[in-house]
Amino acid sequence: MLRFLSDEDFNGHVLQALLSSDPALDVVRAQDVGLMSMPDPGVLDWAAQAGRVVLTRDRGTMTGHAYDRIRAGRPMPGVEVTRDSLPVQLQVQDILTVAYCSLPGELDDQVVFLPI
């Protein structure tokens, strides 16, 4: 199963509902691993080294840095971008669908916008 890093600005209600739906899901928060206030390129570096897909709602800067990283040929385990305008349960369902249906490495060098 995929391993995730939730970006500092990721919706806490979604994260809480996600972990309630599947307590075994491997998610760490940026705040808990020393990435508080880390610029996006640093978050992506950390995620690449740790082999974690980034969960974010940042459609602006995070996605731009992810695409820059892909163009530069630097490793990136993937970025999943959610929308706060969607109900929490729909966001959780989409994240879990990707988590359960993807093999490790399958999201490498991809930015996935949810809902699918």
Q: Is the pLDDT of residue 116 over 90?
A: no
**Please, what is the Cα angle at 99 between 97 and 105, to 5 degrees?**
135
pLDDT digits (tens, 9 = 90+) for 23-60: 999 999 999 999 999 999 999 999 999 999 999 999 99
| Separation between Cα atoms, residue 104 and residue 35, nearest integer Å | 23
pLDDT score, position 103: 92
Q: Before 115, cis peptide (omega within 30)?
A: yes
Q: Report residue 1's pLDDT band, with 50, 70 and 90 as the boundaries.
A: confident
HEC readout, the chain: CCEEEECCCCCHHHHHHHHHHCCCCEEEEHHHHCCCCCCHHHHHHHHHHHCCEEEECCCCHHHHHHHHHHHCCCCCCCEEECCCCCCHHHHHHHHHHHHHHCCCCCCCCCEEECCC
